[in-house]
Amino acid sequence: MAIDLHKYANPTRFLRIANAIFPWSIVTTVVLLATGLYLGLFVSPADYQQGETVRIMFVHVPAAWMAMSVYSMMAVSSAAGLIWKHPVADLSAKAAAPIGACFTFLALVTGSLWGQPMWGAYWVWDARLTSMLILLFLYLGYMAVWGSFEDQSKAAKAAAILVLIGAINIPIIKFSVDWWNTLHQPASVATMDGPKIHSSILTPLLIMGLGYTSLFVTIFIIRVRTEILGRRLRMLRVNQLQE
């Protein structure tokens, strides 16, 4: 019994903090997304070259940012799970994966819908697009690994190794636009010389980015809670069988 309590001390504290943040993250998400959408659709001007299609950026770029940062967060927490056997680390990565997969899917699809009118093609086998597609497969593979092991601790280990190997793809995505000739435009916000976008378009973009981050936190809290309770459920069922 002592071991049991020790094991669950950490998730309990984690859940207490998560529950305290939760209502705030909902409010922040709603306010940021509403503001971002209003500024992006009504206030910001059309681009002088791309016309109105530039508005696709407000849903495309934040999704792509999240796709990469969620994966990075999963890599860090998977490493923590492997090294320190922290009880929440593996579950955090597991809870984040479907959210990251959705953001990656959206980045690809909205990019495609932006590519057709501007490049004349929904898809090109370009370094940025291809590495993003690989990221989607990494997410899906990660989720499949979790589903294919009966023993959850083995699944956690295999999935963590997959995520860490796949992490090499993150710098490849980031620098793909510099390393290879590509149709995709190079970095325009996070550059050494500061953003290259006018504030009338940059402001809604950053607000949408924060809104997406806040939405991630909200969904993440729901999913981590599900994972922690799910593990407890499995443990209690095993205990019940033993009695």
Partner 1 sequence: MNEFFEMGGYGNFIWSSYGLSAGVLIFLVIISVRQLRQVERDLAPLEETRRSFRKRPVKEGATS
Q: CA 78 to CA 84: how far, in whole Å? A: 10
Torsion of CA 49, 55, 60, 63, to 10 degrees: 140
The whole-angstrom separation of Cα 212 and Cα 29 is 7
In the complex, the residues that contact partner 1 under the rule CB under 8 A are 8, 12, 46, 51-53, 55-56, 59-60, 63, 98-99, 102, 105-106, 109-110, 113-114, 116-117, 215, 218-219, 222-223, 225-226, 229-230, 232-233, 236-237, 239-240
In whole angstroms, the minimum distance from the beta carbon of 79 to partner 1 comes to 25
| Minimum separation from the CB atom of position 165 to partner 1 (A) | 26
Q: CA–CA separation, 176 vs 146, rounded Å?
A: 30
By beta-carbon proximity to partner 1, the closer residue of 154 and 234 is 234
Q: CB 235 → partner 1: shortest distance, Å?
A: 10
* Residue 174 C-beta: closest distance to partner 1, Å: 22
Our CB check for partner 1 shows the closer of 8 and 137 to be: 8
State which residue, 121 or 165, has the beta carbon closest to partner 1. Answer: 121
* Residue 124 token pair: 């090109």
What CA–CA distance (Å, rounded) separates 243 from 68? 46
- Integer Cα distance of 56 and 41 in angstroms: 10
Query: CB-wise, 35 or 175, nearer to partner 1?
Result: 35
Q: Minimum distance from CB of 158 to partner 1 (Å)?
A: 22
Q: How far apart are CA 207 and CA 192, in angstroms?
A: 21
Residue 133 near residue 64, CB atoms below 8 Å:
no
